[in-house]
Amino acid sequence: MSMQSHNAPPPACAIVIFGANGDLTKRLVVPALYNLARTGLLPKNLALVGVDHNKKTSEEWTAQLKVFLVTVLAKNSEEIDETLWSKVAGSMTFLSGDFEKPETYSQLKGLLAELNQKQGLGGNVLFYMAVADRFFPVIAGKLGEAALMDDTKGFRRLIVEKPFGHDLASARALNACLLKYLKEEQIYRIDHFLGKETVQNIMALRFGNGLFEPIWNRDRIDHVQITVAESIGVETRGKFYEATGALRDMIPNHLFQLVAMVAMEPPVSFDAEDIRAKKAELFKAIQPLALTDVVRGQYDAGTVQDASVPAYRKEPNVSPDSNIETYAAMRLKIDNWRWAGVPFYLRTGKRLNIRSSEIAIRFKQAPYALFRDTPVDELDADWLILRIQPDEGIRLRFNAKRPGPAMMLESVSMRFNYKDYFHQAPAVGYETLIYDCLIGDATLFQRADQVEAAWALVEPVLKGWQDTNPRHFPNYAAGSEGPIAANDLLAKDGRSWRAIRILGGK
């Protein structure tokens, strides 16, 4: 399973990719499969089937994918391994068909039966919906009606990309559709954020070290800050963003999963269901959000990394009077014995000063009485900072005596960078997740109840925002750290945000 070491390739199977000509397949899915192949973690007997509406041959499809793979590899100054690619490409078959027509699935069923017999795939099939979310219920339903999800003669699994709905009602509807045709253990709701090594290492840090777990509670921790900052704008995704916004796009999936990793109770084992049960339990303990617990913002024109950038309302496919938020911050309160009284502050936004994702855990302040001669602003509290991207690592800040005869303290840091200790094979972030799907490990995937619990938490906020227009938009300059109102959210608690900066900073 994910929390243990894997060395063996998965069992023989077919991987069927719906949306074979799509951006996700070209940029992430196929490069991830190539990276798994070079580390020996693809099935030895493998058939890759691409399904899309375009008319093309298998040879044309593989040639097109190769062009994109070369581009992806070039970003890391790598060249394609022609022998390896030939092996992967040799397993590929393209099937032209309309996702909404039953005959597509009849043809697919016949093709899979043929490949299974020729290559000895054991009846195992992993279906990947690399398509727009409007096709999720269509494809799931057609697969079910064609009896392609029957797992009596081999595993049948379905990967569902986010978004897992756009609100509580749509999330429930999607889950109801999926569960009409599949069992929960066949469904893998994939979130690339959970494929990041640092995110997976949160559990290793907590539960694998006697140093941290005993102090991982309200007795020692003052508060937690989770930041996912992006320096880019909406770029070519204006149409998508106008229907989504920062809160829907990032918080119920990405940030809430980080909260769950940090705050869940220790599971009895690293079995997927034990871990997912603890996450679901944690979501139930979060107090309902009020509008006063949440801040929204939209970026104005500004300067990011010495380049002038336009306001959100000037971006392509964005309404000139748009009220969609590009920034969201919130305060969560968890009502259980471990975390009562410890606020969790979350923030995410576009066009901020730098790209940075981190979890910062602030420990309670030491008493000042012993250090009356040290200025209070120099006697900083201790921080544990888990850096997710870029430059993955962990940093512990604490106070040490400044050289000299007087007892004067100064904040210092101990740093651990993953790249300095571990060799990491080139990756696009999907390798671990796809591998886990192939071996049937659901640890890093969301269960239906988690999805609905997350949407239920933000539902009052979405409704409240829908009923009130933010007349102050835009309210933060591109290249800043967000709107002033986000600072006020912490200030009324007597706290402040950590500066958004690179790992080497304080």
Cross-sheet strand order for the sheet of 46-52: 92-96, 46-52, 13-18, 125-129, 156-161, 187-190
β partners of residue 50: 17, 94
Give the N- to C-terminal CA distance of the chain in Å, as an integer.
Answer: 36
What is the Cα–Cα distance from 227 to 133, expressed in whole angstroms?
26
String of DSSP letters for 278-340: HHHHHHHHBPPP-GGGEEEE-EESEEETTEEE--GGGSTT--TT----SEEEEEE-B-STTTT
Helix 197-207 with 256-263: angle, nearest 10 deg: 20
Q: Are 427 and 35 in contact (CB under 8 A)?
A: yes
E strand intervals along 333-450: 344-349, 356-363, 383-389, 393-401, 409-417
Q: Which of 149, 330, 161, 334 has the alpha carbon at shortest distance from 251?
A: 330
What is the Cα–Cα distance from 419 to 85, expressed in whole angstroms?
27
Q: Which of 286, 389, 392, 302 has the alpha carbon at shortest distance from 342?
A: 286
Element (H, E) at 223: strand 221-229
Q: How many CB atoms lie within 10 A of CB 201?
A: 17
The total number of residues shown for the chain amounts to 506
In this structure, are strands 156-161 and 125-129 parallel, antiparallel, or unpaired?
parallel
Say which of 166, 192, 223, 254 is annotated catalytic. 254
User: And the tokens for 210?
Assistant: 């006697």
Helix 136-145 with 102-119: angle, nearest 10 deg: 60
Q: Is 254 among the catalytic positions?
A: yes
Q: Are 159 and 355 in contact (CB under 8 A)?
A: no
In this structure, are strands 221-229 and 356-363 parallel, antiparallel, or unpaired?
antiparallel
Which residues participate in catalysis according to the annotation?
254
